[in-house]
Chain A
Amino acid sequence: MSHLSERLAQLKSENRAAFIAYLPAGFPTVEKSKAAIEVLVKNGADIIEIGFPYSDPIMDGPIIQEAADIALANGAGAKEVLEILEFTTNLNVPAVVMTYWNPIEQYGISKFADAIKSANGSGVITPDLSLEEANPWINESNRAGIDNIFVAAPSSLPERLNHVASACSGFVYAASLMGVTGTRTSVSSSAKDLVARIRESVQTPVCVGLGVSTPEQAKEVASYADGVIVGSALIKILLEQPDFETGLKELATLTKSLADGIRQAR
């Protein structure tokens, strides 16, 4: 069982949802992204999702695009992603990598699965790896002993949804709405339906992402999902503050209030 699965099982026994916090690796720089991850962990994030910055992120809105561009301009690549993954798991928190498919294919599928494992990463989220193309990756991640996490969408038809959910280990990533990442004023009602539909097919925990940005939204999602994924709202804080130190303070405040919201949900 991966560190991720252990942590989700433990939180389930405590009757609360996990707080999964996302940051792109190397944003704004390698050292600063490590500092930001420390802030997330100290202030209540249960699991860290590390983004592999990519040139063509079609599932991401403007905030994550901008952060990825900054990280890439500062030289973030596979080496930096793995370095930050290892740094994170050394904080004794479960961590997964979120990456578009081409960087894995270019690194080498087998080699990438091994590298995630040796950095003590729990698994990889692949938002654009369609199930039809996923067999080589599923085989390699199983061999390496890491989780493979796919994204389920509200538009998935029942049979398809069952296939996607069944292919996941660790957790099923439920996209709360039809759209890209970013902050939203409310969480779509389709999220709750989707979680219920996924639970009809599998026992795997279901975590909800896309558009969750405030403590109120996090609390609402935490009342029914096994995990709440927040990304853009955290990055926005760092992008908006004039200097990084102030950004980290604001990040600590938001992280803590999101964590509190999630803890008060049930």
Chain B
Amino acid sequence: MSTTTDLTGGKPDVSVGHFGEYGGRFVPEALVAALDELAQMHAQTQTDPTFIAELDELHRTYSGRPSIITEAKRFACYAGGARIILKREDLNHTGSHKINNVLGQALLTKRMGKSRVIAETGAGQHGVATATAAALMGLDCVVYMGEEDTKRQSLNVARMKLLGAEVVPVTSGSRTLKDAINEAMRDWVTNVADTHYILGTVAGPHPFPTMVRDFHRIIGDEARAQVIELTGKLPDAVLACVGGGSNAIGIFYPFIQDTSVRLIGLEAGGDGIETGRHASAISGGRPGVLHGARSYMLQDKDGQTRESHSISAGLDYPGVGPEHAYLHDIGRAEYRPITDKEAMEAFSLLSRTEGIIPAIETAHALAGAMKVGNELGPKATLLINLSGRGDKDVETAANYFENLKM
């Protein structure tokens, strides 16, 4: 399924990174040489025993892999009695799945002889992970973050600064993740000679969607074996939240050939798709080109990007990774919207039933699990990617539930 089809020739052509009609490369020419170098470096290191061993050691001795699975028995009562198994990426160092990709790309940065990394961040999880890896490996680090998000996620801003990174609040456009990516791209075009852009999701120009997926597939590889060991069989469905889609593709990818396993991505439905105030690129958008790749996106009739809305800063993005667009079109994965309200109910519920405070992003997947569990009933087993922990969201949650009381 890693096969990617070149539209013009019809032959598989991984070098330009197409997933059906999606993906590809739509970038200023100034970045092409760097993207080519990166693609080549990624391809080489995928089979390089030294690189693999280095990354594996970091996983084991630094970020804490393999992450465990936890069966959520009390939460399951609210999900139709289905068996609920959580893949605990929230227990990774820095508190989310993001570290998997960042450690891989930071190692590639060193190999390419570059001394500076830049990153965009929405919720701050990817920014914190990047700042962490930069501190560990002695790289200069600048993180671009929408001004709006620096307010919503002030705790993570403080963490990044403690880790020695410079945090640049982005004041252009909607002042959120989309604009942080624009600003990071502008920095990269200017400083590409000594700088690597550690893109945090499976979007962007080739090779990012493929490379970031490859660094996150460890989630699904581990979880698949763990679930089989625990239950003796494959799960009936795998669920994950989808903004750009990195944690989702990480857990989906090793299950793609297992056609009995439903793959379900939960997008941020905001106030509801029908209100137009949401961040569901697949459920509520159409194909277009944003940030260097073709995929589903929110846009007006002229192709201007529309602002997304979500209570979750990490899902508040008008696009989605191209491989998800492809999996959607071929019917291999399903994508559904979850509203802010549904997500916050699940956020609260997991906290009270299991003693696990999830990230609000992740709460979208949990809300999806409640629906799917009720649809499939008690015989079903659902594997959910618990992509991040909710410490950063405590203030947002306190405000949200306080407002409900009024």
Contact = CB atoms under 8 A, between A and B. Distances in A.
Do these two chains really belong together in a complex? yes
Interface of A: 54-59, 61-62, 65, 69, 72, 77-78, 101-107, 127-130, 132-133, 135-136, 150-157, 160, 164, 175, 178-180
Contacts of B34: 155
B33 A58 contact: no
B8 A135 contact: yes
B26 interface: yes
Name the residue in A57, A103, A150, A155 with the highest tally of chain B Cβ atoms < 10 Å from its Cβ. A155
Given A102-B290, A155-B34, A180-B190, A133 B302 contact: no
Interface in B11-32: 16, 24-32
A103 B303 contact: yes
Nearest to A60: B186
Contact of A130 (B27, B172, B178): B27
A102 B293 CA distance: 10
Contacts of A136: 8
Contacts of A156: 29, 32-33
A106 B186 contact: no
A58 B187 CA distance: 10
B190 A179 contact: yes
Contacts of A135: 8
A48 to B, nearest CB: 21
B305 interface: yes
Given A154-B30, A155-B34, A107 B303 contact: yes
Contacts of A107: 302-303
Q: Which 5 A-B pairs have the closest CB atoms?
A: A106-B303, A153-B30, A102-B303, A179-B190, A58-B185
Nearest to A62: B172
Given A58-B182, A156-B29, A78 B302 contact: yes
11 contacts: A54-B303, A56-B290, A58-B185, A77-B301, A78-B302, A128-B26, A133-B16, A150-B29, A156-B29, A156-B32, A160-B32
Given A56-B182, A105-B289, A153 B29 contact: yes
A102 B33 CA distance: 22
A180 B192 CA distance: 12
A180 B25 contact: no
Nearest to B172: A65
B302 A106 contact: yes
Interface residues of B, number: 37
Given A105-B303, A153-B29, A154-B30, A56 B186 contact: no
Contacts of B303: 54, 102-107
Contact of A102 (B27, B29, B32, B288): B288
A55 B33 contact: no
A68 B13 CA distance: 36
B370 to A, nearest CB: 35
A78 B302 CA distance: 7
B32 A130 contact: yes
Given A59-B189, A155-B34, A178-B192, A164 B299 contact: no
B33 A178 contact: no
A106 B288 contact: yes
B173 A132 contact: no
B291 interface: yes
Interface string B207-247: 00000000000000000000000000000000000000000
B193 interface: yes
B189 A58 contact: yes
Contact of B33 (A78, A157, A179): A157
Nearest to A103: B303
A30 B322 CA distance: 36
Contact of A106 (B172, B178, B299): B299
Contacts of A151: 28-29
A103 B178 CA distance: 17
